[in-house]
Structure 1
Amino acid sequence: MPTRVWNYLEEYEQEREEILRAVDKVFASGQLVLGESVRSFENEFAGYHGLPHCVGVDNGTNAIVLGLRALGVGPGDEVITVSNTAAPTVVAIDQIGAKPVFVDVREEDFLMDTGKVAAAITPRTKALLPVHLYGQCVDMEPLRRLADEHGLAVLEDCAQAHGARRHGRLAGTMGDAAAFSFYPTKVLGAYGDGGATVTGSAETDQRLRRLRFYGMEDVYYTLETPAHNSRLDEVHAEILRGKLTRLDRYIEGRRAVARRYEEGLGDTALRLPATAPGNDHVYYVYVVRHPERDRIIEALKGYDINLNISYPWPVHTMTGFAHLGYGEGDLPVTEALAKEIFSLPMYPSLPAGVQDKVIAAVREVLASL
């Protein structure tokens, strides 16, 4: 089988019996939508983060959409974020009629350059949307100060940072609310789409619950605010309940793979991930950098190793966001990274033999350049 950046089959083999028990439990419960499994997972996921509220939704994109709406962001408002991210971060802003405003990222760790945020704030700015990228946290302290100074909401995009910490604080606990994705590849992944928004505010929680249920309260026919069906599925919630108990183990597995890569590739010309001071990295993806990225990826195909690029096209350069008016050179670090970064295989059940294969192949390819 070709070596890929991510594969769920090893994990499924290890956890198959528990996953099938979770599915059977839901099917035998007599309630398939917004039942005990979703309620229990919401309570447990909130508890993991030391927060009182969690609202399960159907995917990570809608976790951001609902989070922004619940925080009062709407048409005509501006939301400051980054372009070096998965497109859904920005799609969510656009979907509610707000305008994405981009700041560049840092050379050393590819995270939002928080020193550039103040200059991007205008009278129309309503929220800051930091992306905890690749498995580690943005510097939240200066963002929180800016938000308090200017009366802005802070929504953390935690899709890639389940269990990551900054100065001991979990990703998702440093803003007014936080959005998570449970897409299968994530550090905490379901077996299909899923997401959640967490918050410490009872008022925000109430808004989120209405927004994920057409804008209604707990029963049909009493519409408060028009919205869509964004419910988390009972089956995925029950599977996630079990996986949440193993989240810290998954994280340690990812860190072990990262350590193996550092041992095997640390003396090469490949630029390996840097952990920002104060951060505990969970390695959602293992992103490396090299100016001959495209040649390396092509050569590795000869070893039956197929790698991803996270991300090859900055969001601000995409045709779908041309209306924002950004051009080449506006975000120089982001644009340079897009030409040089790529991801090595990374998941906690990645076999040791595959890790060794990847390391040996990368070393051989680098030596041939």
Structure 2
Amino acid sequence: MDNIPFNNLYEGINPIYSEIMDKIGELIKTAEFIGGKEVELFEKEYAEWTHTKYVVGASNGTDAIIIALKALGVGPGDKVLVPDNTFIATAEAVTAVGAEVDFIDIESDYYAMDPIQVEEYLKSTKGRNVKAIIPVHLYGQMANMPVLREIADKYGIKVIEDSAQAHGSKLLGNQPGYWGDIATYSFYPGKNLGAFGDAGAIATNNPDLYKKCRMLVNHGRWHEKYTHEIEGYNMRLDTIQAAILRIKLQYIDEWTQNRKEKVSKYLHLLAGIDSVISPRVRREAEPVWHIFPVLCKDRDSTIERFKKAKISYGIHYPVPLHLQPAYNYKSYRANDYPVAEMISSRELSLPLWPEINEDILKYITECL
């Protein structure tokens, strides 16, 4: 079999290639590159699709978290808790606004921020200056938001849902943004809804937070171009990216259903394989499977077999945040976050995209 990629973006783009190129050509002819109707329409359509009242486009997912934190008034003297097993963008956004970041261990079964650990932290002396938590809906499955929201309300803190991997994911029938004060999204090209470069969004049901986010992404403007209500940033969503996302949004439900069907096939094929543990689905959750993660009993041996079989793979993530060199100043050591460390030592992400051939799935599982 030919080399198997971890993801194949072009298979999804090819059927709509002409539609996208026609739209890009139209924008070039009209020289509409910043703002305009494409951005406005995408924000409106994405809000409708996510069942939130307001969406603000942003330059990328990291900037979306920064804007969310700023809108919630997080800054120097505050602390924000993030899960230990996530991409560093979640954490570095916190320090970017001058706040202190700290880490929470994850659930052993669903790999998301552990509510029990959150409450224990908030009850301790370390929790006195916590202003917000940022649960990450990792791999496309939502964190335990009902419980996390209840804890946040109990201790008077804010909730930002990092939904970079969870476009359309549901828990109890609700998407990101239902429980959190703000949900943030990334449209990095490899995401389930991906742009042709960097792009992001902020979603909220709160009109005051919407206004703050709207101004913050665009130099503090509200209506007038040269009237700046506050100091903001240049973190806008590009018009061309908005136009591409509008087209792809029409197909995201179909692509998501295809992902679910391929994962169902994976789970069936993996049922009799003792060398790996398949991911579990939270009760009443509807994951969108941005990543299909398995836990290997011997990951190194599995990787060697994959290399010989020319199968690409991912590890999400090989080093938990508390052991990253960037956070050496926090003086954490091995075994401080045992669940995250266990997951990072065993997790292997298998190839997955909506159009992946079932013969490829069979070949991959045979190599496990």
State the AA in 2 paired with 1:307: Y
Q: Does 1:125 align with 2:130?
A: yes
SS of 2:140's partner is coil
**Aligned residue for 1:319?**
325
CA offset digits 1:70-92 (Å, max 9, x no partner): 11111121111101001111111
Q: Which stretch has the larger CA shift, 214-223 or 171-180?
A: 214-223
State the AA in 1 paired with 2:351: P
**Aligned residue for 2:314?**
308
Measure, in 2, the Cα distance between the counterparts of 1:25 and 1:51. Answer: 30
**Aligned residue for 2:363?**
357
Measure, in 2, the Cα distance between the counterparts of 1:240 and 1:153. Answer: 29
**Aligned residue for 1:367?**
none
Q: Of residues 273, 285, 300 in structure 2, which corresponds to 1:294?
A: 300
Measure, in 2, the Cα distance between the counterparts of 1:129 and 1:257. Answer: 30
CA offset digits 1:70-124 (Å, max 9, x no partner): 1111112111110100111111111111111211111112111111111212221
Measure, in 2, the Cα distance between the counterparts of 1:50 and 1:233. Answer: 23
Query: Shift of the alpha carbon at 1:221?
Result: 4.0
Checking the alignment, whether the CA contact within 8 Å between 1:297 and 1:306 is kept in structure 2 is: no
SS of 1:178's partner is strand
Checking the alignment, whether the CA contact within 8 Å between 2:84 and 2:104 is kept in structure 1 is: yes
**Aligned residue for 2:142?**
137
**Aligned residue for 2:50?**
49
Measure, in 2, the Cα distance between the counterparts of 1:169 and 1:29. Answer: 39
**Aligned residue for 2:106?**
105
Query: Shift of the alpha carbon at 1:227?
Result: 3.2
Measure, in 2, the Cα distance between the counterparts of 1:327 and 1:217. Answer: 46
Measure, in 1, the Cα distance between the counterparts of 2:216 and 2:339. Answer: 37
CA offset digits 1:217-238 (Å, max 9, x no partner): 3444434433321111111111
Query: Shift of the alpha carbon at 1:355?
Result: 2.1
SS of 1:3's partner is coil
CA offset digits 1:200-249 (Å, max 9, x no partner): 11111111111111233344443443332111111111111111121111
Checking the alignment, whether the CA contact within 8 Å between 2:305 and 2:367 is kept in structure 1 is: no
Q: Of residues 136, 143, 155 in structure 2, which corresponds to 1:150?
A: 155
Checking the alignment, whether the CA contact within 8 Å between 1:136 and 1:282 is kept in structure 2 is: yes
Q: Does 1:237 align with 2:242?
A: yes
Checking the alignment, whether the CA contact within 8 Å between 1:59 and 1:193 is kept in structure 2 is: yes
Checking the alignment, whether the CA contact within 8 Å between 1:49 and 1:173 is kept in structure 2 is: no
CA offset digits 1:297-346 (Å, max 9, x no partner): 12211111121100001011111112233221111000111110010001
Q: Of residues 251, 259, 263 in structure 2, which corresponds to 1:254?
A: 259
SS of 1:322's partner is helix
Checking the alignment, whether the CA contact within 8 Å between 1:77 and 1:99 is kept in structure 2 is: yes
Measure, in 1, the Cα distance between the counterparts of 2:54 and 2:8. Answer: 32
**Aligned residue for 1:210?**
215
**Aligned residue for 2:6?**
5
Map 1:186-205 → 2, pairs under 5 A: 186-205=191-210
State the AA in 1 paired with 2:24: V
**Aligned residue for 1:36?**
37
SS of 1:305's partner is coil
**Aligned residue for 2:175?**
170
Checking the alignment, whether the CA contact within 8 Å between 1:26 and 1:37 is kept in structure 2 is: no
SS of 2:132's partner is strand
SS of 1:347's partner is coil
Unaligned runs of 5+ in 2: none
State the AA in 1 paired with 2:118: V
Sequence identity percentage: 34
Unaligned runs of 5+ in 1: 363-369
State the AA in 2 paired with 1:360: E
Query: Shift of the alpha carbon at 1:268?
Result: 0.4
SS of 1:123's partner is helix
SS of 2:17's partner is helix
